[in-house]
Structure 1
Amino acid sequence: MSTTLDRDKTACLDGLPPGTRSMLLVLEESDSGSGFGSTKLHVATISKQIRLGSKIGAGRFGTVSRGTFKGEAVAVKIFRDADLLSFDNEREIFETRMLRHPQILRFIGSDRVDKGLLHELWIVTEYHPLGSLHDFLLENVITIDIFNSLITSAAKGLAFLHDGYDGTTNSCKPQFVHRDVKSRNIMVKEDLTCAIGDLGLAIVKPPGGTIPQHIAEKYKCGTVRYLAPEILNSTMSSYEFESYQRADVYSFSLVMWETLCRVEEGEVKARSAERVIPYIEWTERDPTDEQMTDVVCTRNLRPPENPQWDGNKKIQYVTEIIQSCWSANPTARYTAFQLKTRLDYKISEEEEDNKEQLQQQEQLVQVQDDYEDEDEDEEVDAEVDAQFDPNKRLPGPRRFSMAGIKQLQKRIFGAQSRDIEMVPLAGMASRGNAKVHDQEQLETKNGTRTIENTKDPKDPLLRNL
């Protein structure tokens, strides 16, 4: 059996023993393997093409560092060996066909990096310099318009995860639940929209919709501060996929509350950044399951609302949505799609209102301009009449404003006449014309002669000129 490879492929095998060289050549052309897909030789994995930079964060499963890959800034999430299951789960979710969406963190690749006795598990995604929504809110006070941009885009990302979509061929995008929705797992893009990331706990809807037993029996996972009441008190229908979607919506309502707390609009003032933590009034910074169960379920408390929100219609609309989404009754909450639709509708309504107000302002300005033009015309008419009325004539030479001259021109020659060219006296003299009382001197080929004024004194408009 003869195998033909180009020079680049054979060059990397130079120097190997003939037997090893032959075995590798056979494997290169073979589709068989150990169950992980076709066995192809790669000169460099993605980790070898990334220049790793400083650490920018840390989480439950490891650290996140900034890196550079083919000239693009990337974020590298590094798992420990012990978190192999979470790494594999997140990688498989990211690699799902048709998962691409502007509000889902863009996946670039994954790798397993040998570090001697240990291995590092890498997931590489796009990098956003503004950081997570949590970090962004710590450093910034926002307007209600920025709130709408951040939260509506994040809601679109959550709705996309929850919903399934059919493709144009045999492929489709399945339904997912996130199971760890919080402000630290939502990234802020440079255009002030959001992208949902950290899919390590996400699960896909299985055929038939029934959750597997190994997941259903250990459904209490995620960040305890953001867990829904039915998860905290162990009353959730853990075998139903929709139950996890409702729990995601509850968690998202707390993200909405956090973001709204940093809004300053009119008389509404922002909450201090260190106090923008759900339930911080009644819990420690790292609460236990028992503490959160007591606060959320037994006492049925929810994060406090700013009294200044009551006087702002835009904010009141948002608080009504939040109250629905953190209801103790899971079936009373909006779905992610309904939540996205409600937020989208409000923004469209506000844009229409703003457009209508702008049109009204433009119409008002036009009416004012029309009135000013009419007033100006009346003043000019009065000026012209005064100049020709012997009883109103002012002493001295007649002097017209430019508007008065144009009005006089229209009255003499008609509304469609062209403007008379106004020539300064000095310019008239330079042309050889000079006015002396009621006579004119004209320069001709035979010299200068004087002619009498030929104006018709019977013309009522010109009689007194």
Structure 2
Amino acid sequence: MKLILILLVLGNLHLAAPDAQGDALFDLRSSLKASPDQLADWNQNQVNPCTWSKVSCDANNNVFSVSMSFMGFTGTLSPRIRVLSKLTILSLQGNQITGGIPEDYGNLTSLTMLDLESNRLTGQIPSSLGNLKNLQFLILSQNNLEGPIPDSLSSLPNLTSILLGYNNLSGPVPDRLFQVSKFNFTGNRLNCGFNNTHSCTSGSGDSSKKSKAGILIGVIVGILVLLLLGCFVLFFWRGRHKGYKREVFVDVPGEVDRRIAFGQLKRFSWRELQVATDNFSERNVLGQGGFGKVYKGVLGDNTKIAVKRLTDYESPGGDAAFQREVEMISVAVHRNLLRLIGFCTTPTERLLVYPYMHNLSVAYRLRELKTGEAVLDWATRKRVALGTARGLEYLHEHCNPKIIHRDVKAANVLLDEDFEAVVGDFGLAKLVDVRKTNVTTQVRGTMGHIAPEYLSTGKSSERTDIFGYGIMLLEIVTGQRAIDFSRLEEEDDVLLLDHVKKLEREKRLDAIVDRNLNKKYNMEEVEMMIKVALLCTQGSPEDRPAMSEVVRMLEGEGLAERWEEWQNVEVTRRQEYDRLQRRFDWGEDSIYNQDAIELSGGR
């Protein structure tokens, strides 16, 4: 039985853009001096800000609206939000924001509304706002802005409302701005009213009423057009799907054909996933693990997905409990965690839906490459190690309740299109109450990766994940499996951990490194990764570092101290360990086989 790639998934996740968006918005939060209880769900570790309050995104996870009115901010505007290239609405009305309007806001070329009314802004109106060719509403009233109105605003072709009243502006008003449908320049030292040439405000009375009536009629007509268009699209979609074999793709009794949104999570119908996977055809099987098979699928909009069909998942309380657990897991959004798209439940079925990924898993790239495919170079392996650590750190230390993976290994670390690490198969890892020790009657995991205390007692914690992570680091360095009986032919250790410990004691680090690297690696970095791996795989869970500490060590901080401390006690432990190891027989009649062994049971 071959080593199973549980999730050969993941599609085209464009992480760089959402990450830049999140960083920019978090910088805005800081510069505005938001209090700890304001925007509390804005987590800097989350790759995608689309789940944050006061933020709206389009279908491609591009931020298009940031609306934070009347929240009492007293800080300044951050220029970093210039990276929000799809931002159409920025509304910060009714705060006490100080400082000036950054020139960088002229880069927000998709902006249609800029509302900074009723703040304490100072300085001049940036001439760069003339670059906002899509701008329709410019609202800067009731601030302390000064100087002239930039001539560049006259070139805004779509401007329909400009409200600059009650500032300290001075000088002439560009004539073009008097042609805007709605304007207000009162309460300034502007020249608009001199010699009755122009009024400082747009007309009122009948013309205003007519304008409002026209707008209302336009809105109603627009809604009707959208409804008719929606009906046409639905009719067209149904027409295209008449060719499906109705005798195959049928509703499961008890299934509600609808979608329930948990944030951005979707509930799929059983029929929808039947169609996507060609009725769960064996030709579409990507892998199989302790919880069931994973199928490749294609949705009606040509989105590629991976569907995990669970076979032994038991949820106390049935469907409702499963939905609550899935909802909780869906908020675990991080650049190094596999994104859950949605789920499906019936009285007899539980399915999870993920993106499909073309670069497969780390295990595949280490050991199962096809002819012509390139192996992972050392720089990529370093990024994988650090990215995996950051993903696990988020599960352990930033989720409430914390999430324990229970099967950390190279086969469950996936690679996006940029070969960045994405931790997969944590979708059914149990949500852990920090006040309790989680005890299971059956152990879940893969032999060679399971921490000794979990295997012997059934007690798991985040430290069991850390042990598995340490073994995964050794996989990355050596390219070998956690258990390999071929080493018996060389009278060597079957367990990769013992094999590496032996070579490390003998100072034969060159013999540890994957030969496929062709000696293209940095030996100091190899030694660092091996040391971190050995610290993570200590026999006592209390001695293993937390994942946050692992991240720091991989970044070059604190490793020397922890390694020296470990060396002082390892000699005694090694003697006892060797004595116990001699009691085991790893011959051909061993219960372990050549490949990874999946243990069934509840997590």
Task: Please give the TM-score of this superposition, normalised by the length of structure 2.
Answer: 0.39
Q: Which protein has greater RCO, CA pairs closer than 8 Å, 6+ apart?
A: 2
TM-score (norm 1): 0.50
Higher helix share: 1
Which structure has the larger Rg? 1
